[in-house]
Structure 1
Amino acid sequence: MNWAAVREFVGSARFAQALALIAIGLAFSTHAVRSLIGWPGLLAALGGLLMLCAASLVTRWRAIEWYGILPLTILVFVGWSAASVLWSNAPLASGVRVAYLVAYAVLGVYVALMRDTIQIVRAFGDTFRLLLGASLALEVFAGVLVDQPIRFLGVEGNIAALGPIQGIFGSRNLLGFVALIALITFIVEWRTQIVSRTRTIFSIVLGALCIVFAGSPTTWIALGAALVALAALYGLRRVPEQSRWRWQLGLLVLVAAALVTGWILRIRIIELLDARAEFDVRLDLWRELSRYLSLNPLQGWGWVGKWPDAPPYTWLEAGVGRPHESALNAYFDAYFQVGVIGALAFAALIGVALVRSWLLASNRRSVVYLWPALVLVAIAVTSAAESFALYEGGWMLVVICAVKAARDMSWRDALKRS
C-alpha cells in the first residue's frame, strides 16, 4: 500500500469537504438513521466518522492554527456536564451520554477548523437541500401517492391536508427548525452568489414550503426574530463606523423593550399563532420540572441529553401524563440536568457567541458573516420552546458558530497581540 498517497488523500481539502458534508448530514438525520439501522448503526457511523476526522486532523496538524480554538464557554459547559457524572443517579448512562455530547462537539470543531465560513455555508446548503427534499418527497409519497403513513420513520403523510408534516426528522418542530436554518443559509448563499440563480430560487421555495407545511408556531416566532435581526444588521452595516456603537446601544434597548412587551402580551401572541395547546403542554411540563428542580438546584440531576426512560424523567412524564424527550426549553433542560452552573454556562455560550457573531456581522464587509449571527438568533429564540441546541445537530451547529465567532473575535488573541 502506498502510504504516502493515502496520507496525501486524507490530508486533502476534498477529503475534509466530504467529511464536513457527512458530519452535517449525519448530525441532522439521526432520527432517520436510528429508524433504519437502530442505535448500534448510528453509533458505529458516528465512531467511524470521528476516526476519519481524527486522521484528517493528524495529517493537517501543522497547517492548523491551534491557539485559542475553543471558546472558554464551550469548555466550561462540557466540563461541567462531564463532572455531573459524579452525582448522577445513573453514572454509567450519564457517562455514555456525555461522550455522545462530546462526539458532536468534536465534529463541530472539526468542521469549524477545516472549512472557512463560506465553505460551511455551502456545506449546510447542500446538505439541507438533500434532507428537506427527501422529507417533502416522503411526505408526498405517504400522503398523496399511497395515502398511508410511514410508521417507522414517523411520517404521518398529512401533506394533502397542508400539514403538519414531520419529514425525516420525526417531529414538525424539528423540521421547522431545520427548514429555518436552511432558509437563512439559502439567503446567504444567494447574497454571496456561490450558487446559481435557479438553485437559489429552488432552495428558498423548498425551505419556505417546509416551514409552512411543518406548521410549527415556534418556527414562526424564530423566523420573525431572524427577519428582524436581518433588517437590523442591514441597517447597521450602512451606518458610519464612528456612530455605529450608538445605534448598537439603541438596538439593545429596543430588544430589551421588545422582550418585556412580548412577555406581557405572551397570551395574546400565543392566541394569534393558534399555539394555545402547545403552550399548555409546555406549561404543564415546566410546572412539574419546578417541583424537582428544588431538590438539586445547584448541580442538577446529571447530564443525559435526550431524556431516558428512567427516574426522574419517568416521574416527570407520569406527572404530566405523556412522554417527552426533553424539557421543551433548552435553558430549563440545562438547568434540570446540570443545575444553575450548567444553565448559566449554556446561556453564556449562546450569549457570548451571539454577541461576537453580531459584532462581526455588523462590522465586516462580507455578507457571509451574517450567517452565524442569524443562525444564533434563531437558536436562541427556538431554545425558549425546544431543546434542539443541547444535542446532535443543534448542538453541533452551536459549536460551529461559537468556534468561528471566537476565532474571528477572541479576547485571548487581543491579549496575545498586546
Structure 2
Amino acid sequence: MSGEPVSTPHPPRWLPELLRSAAMARAFTLATFGAVFASYAIQWLAGPVTFITIVAGLCVVGVGMLIARRHELSFLRLVPISLLVFVCWVLLSIVWSTSPADTVTGCIALLGVAVIAIVIGHVRDTLQTVRALGDVMRWLLSISLALEIVIGILMKTPVHWFGIEGNIIRLGPVEGIFGSRNMLGFVAVIALVTFVVEWRTASIRPGLAVFSVAVGGVMAALSGSPTVLVVAAAVGIATAALFLVRHVRAHDRATVQWVLGAVVAVGLGTAYILRHQIIAAAGSDFSIRANLWRVLSIYVRYHPVEGFGWFGTWPVEQYPFVSINFTLDKHYTTALNAYADLVLQVGWLGLFLFVAMAGIALIRSWLTAGERRAIVYAWTPLVLVALLSNSLFESFTLSGAGWLMLVVLMVRAGQSRSWRERLDAASADAVLPAEE
C-alpha cells in the first residue's frame, strides 16, 4: 500500500471555464451589488451572520475567478498602489488601537468588500458595470417604493417591516429597505447618475429608462434627506463642467481644466473659511452634525497623527466613541462625516492617504472622460463626485455600499492614465520583432 502513488485531487475541468465565463462575471456582479446595497434588508430578515456569510462566499468565488483569469490579468494593474498604501495604514492601526479585536473586525470587513470590488473592476468593463448596477438599483428602489406604498397607504394596521415608518402618506421622509432616509437619498443619487448614463448610451429601452429615472427621482425627493440637494447640486455642477470640457477644442482643453481646478480650489477654500456661517444657514440638521464634529475634534487632539485605530462603524461601547456619545447624550455610530471619521480613527495621515487615493482616481477618470467621446466614461468621475461630496455629511464611503463603489471606481480609473499602463505598453513593444 505504501508504494502506491498518492493521487492529488484536481478540480473538475468545467470549473475553470465556468469561472472565466462572461455569464459568471455578470452573475457575480449582480449578486455583489444586490447583496451589498441590500445589506440592511438582508440583516433585518436573516441577521448579520447571514450577510457576513454571503460576503465571505462572494470573496471565495471572486478570488477563484481571478485565479481562473490569471493569464488575462496584469499583476501590476490588479490593485491601485494608492489603495494598497491606505489599506496597509489601516491594518497597521491594529498595533496602537484602543481595542485591537474590534479593529481586526473592522479591517476584515474593509478587506472583504474591497476584494469583491476589485474582482468586479477586472471582470466587467465600465458599461457592463453600469448595466449591472442599473439593474440592481431598479429592483431595490422599486421594491422600496412598493413597500412604502403598502405599509404607509394600503395597510390599515401600521407595521414596521425593514424599519419603514410609513411616512409616504405625508410625502416623507421615507427609508425604503435601506435603513435610513440619508442612505436612501445617497443610493437614489447614484442610481440617477447610473440611469441617465444607461439612457444616453441606449443600453436599455427608452420606456424602461424613463421609468428608472422617475423612480429614482421620486425616491430621492421622498427621502427628505438634507444631503440629497447638496450631493445632487455637486453632481450637477460636475456634469456641466465635464460637458464644457468635452466640447472645447482639444488644444484649449488643458487651459480649461486648469481654470476649473483653480475655481474648485478657491470654492473649497472659501467654503472652509465660511463653514460656520454655512452651517448656521443650513438649518438644524447640519447644526447637529457641527456639534458632533466639535466634540469629536477634542478627542482628535490626543492622537492627531495615527488616530485611535480603525473600526469602521463605531463599536459604541469602546473608547472614545462611548465618551463622545455620553457627552452629547446621543447614540451615534459614525461621525456623520467620512473625513472626520478618518481623522479620528486613522489620524491626519490616514485622511491624507484617503484623499490622495480618491483624488488620484477622480483626476484620472475626469481626464479620461474629458477626452473620450463615449458618454459612459462620464459615469466614473460623476459617481466619484457624488461619493466624495456625500462624505462631507455621512460616513457611507468608509464601509458597505459606499466603500464597494469607491474601490470599483478606483480600479476602473486605475486602468487608464497609470504608470503601469505605460509600463505594460513598453513591455509589449519590447517583445515585438523589429521591422526589417
**TM-score, structure 2 as length reference:** 0.92
Q: Show CA shifts across 1:295-320 (max 9, x none).
A: 11111111110111222111111111
Whether the 8 Å CA contact 1:165–1:172 is kept in 2: the answer is yes
Match of 2:122 in 1: 113
Match of 2:303 in 1: 296
Q: What is the deviation of 1:266? A: 5.3
Q: What is the deviation of 1:63? A: 1.9
Query: Is 1:179 matched with 2:188?
Result: yes
- Looking at structure 1, the residues matched to 323 and 158 of structure 2 have their Cα atoms a distance apart, in angstroms, of 31
- Looking at structure 2, the residues matched to 136 and 271 of structure 1 have their Cα atoms a distance apart, in angstroms, of 33
Match of 1:259 in 2: 268
CA separation of 1:60 and 1:333: change in aligned 2, threshold 3 A: same
Q: What is the deviation of 1:183? A: 0.2
Q: What is the deviation of 1:67? A: 2.2
**Equivalences for 1:256-335 in 2 at 5 Å?**
256-263=265-272, 275-310=282-317, 311-335=319-343
Structure 1: where are the runs of 5+ without partners? none
Q: Secondary structure at the match of 1:142?
A: helix
Q: What is the deviation of 1:149? A: 5.2
- Looking at structure 1, the residues matched to 153 and 378 of structure 2 have their Cα atoms a distance apart, in angstroms, of 38
Match of 2:236 in 1: 227
Identify which of 79, 90, 98 aligns with 1:81. 90
Identify which of 389, 404, 407 aligns with 2:415. 407
- Looking at structure 1, the residues matched to 22 and 75 of structure 2 have their Cα atoms a distance apart, in angstroms, of 18
Q: Over alpha carbons, which structure has the higher Rg?
A: 2
Q: What is the deviation of 1:415? A: 4.8
Q: What is the deviation of 1:8? A: 2.0
- Looking at structure 1, the residues matched to 110 and 243 of structure 2 have their Cα atoms a distance apart, in angstroms, of 35
- Looking at structure 2, the residues matched to 190 and 413 of structure 1 have their Cα atoms a distance apart, in angstroms, of 31
**Equivalences for 1:132-151 in 2 at 5 Å?**
132-146=141-155, 150-151=159-160
Aligned residues: 416
Query: Is 1:71 matched with 2:76?
Result: no
Q: Show CA shifts across 1:36-87 (max 9, x none).
A: 1111111111111111112222222212233222222111111111111111
Query: Is 1:371 matched with 2:379?
Result: yes
CA separation of 1:19 and 1:278: change in aligned 2, threshold 3 A: same
CA separation of 1:66 and 1:209: change in aligned 2, threshold 3 A: same
- Looking at structure 2, the residues matched to 149 and 358 of structure 1 have their Cα atoms a distance apart, in angstroms, of 47
**Equivalences for 1:178-197 in 2 at 5 Å?**
178-197=187-206
Code of the residue aligned with 1:299 in structure 2: it is: E
Q: Secondary structure at the match of 1:143?
A: helix
Q: What is the deviation of 1:416? A: 5.3
CA separation of 1:254 and 1:87: change in aligned 2, threshold 3 A: same
Q: Secondary structure at the match of 1:306?
A: coil
Whether the 8 Å CA contact 1:164–1:214 is kept in 2: the answer is yes
Match of 2:40 in 1: 31
CA separation of 1:343 and 1:201: change in aligned 2, threshold 3 A: same
- Looking at structure 1, the residues matched to 269 and 156 of structure 2 have their Cα atoms a distance apart, in angstroms, of 46
CA RMSD of aligned residues (A): 1.8
Q: What is the deviation of 1:182? A: 0.3
Whether the 8 Å CA contact 1:141–1:147 is kept in 2: the answer is no
Match of 2:434 in 1: none
- Looking at structure 1, the residues matched to 17 and 158 of structure 2 have their Cα atoms a distance apart, in angstroms, of 47
Structure 2: where are the runs of 5+ without partners? 1-9, 427-436
Q: What is the deviation of 1:6? A: 3.3
CA separation of 1:301 and 1:270: change in aligned 2, threshold 3 A: closer
- Looking at structure 2, the residues matched to 92 and 84 of structure 1 have their Cα atoms a distance apart, in angstroms, of 12
Query: Is 1:40 matched with 2:43?
Result: no
Query: Is 1:200 matched with 2:176?
Result: no
CA separation of 1:404 and 1:8: change in aligned 2, threshold 3 A: same
Whether the 8 Å CA contact 1:149–1:155 is kept in 2: the answer is no
Match of 1:353 in 2: 361
Q: Secondary structure at the match of 1:169?
A: coil
Code of the residue aligned with 1:336 in structure 2: it is: L
- Looking at structure 1, the residues matched to 71 and 424 of structure 2 have their Cα atoms a distance apart, in angstroms, of 20
Match of 1:5 in 2: 14
Aligned sequence identity (%): 40
Whether the 8 Å CA contact 2:102–2:315 is kept in 1: the answer is no
- Looking at structure 1, the residues matched to 299 and 276 of structure 2 have their Cα atoms a distance apart, in angstroms, of 26
- Looking at structure 2, the residues matched to 103 and 149 of structure 1 have their Cα atoms a distance apart, in angstroms, of 37
CA separation of 1:31 and 1:150: change in aligned 2, threshold 3 A: farther
- Looking at structure 1, the residues matched to 293 and 91 of structure 2 have their Cα atoms a distance apart, in angstroms, of 25
Identify which of 235, 246, 250 aligns with 2:255. 246
Q: What is the deviation of 1:118? A: 0.3
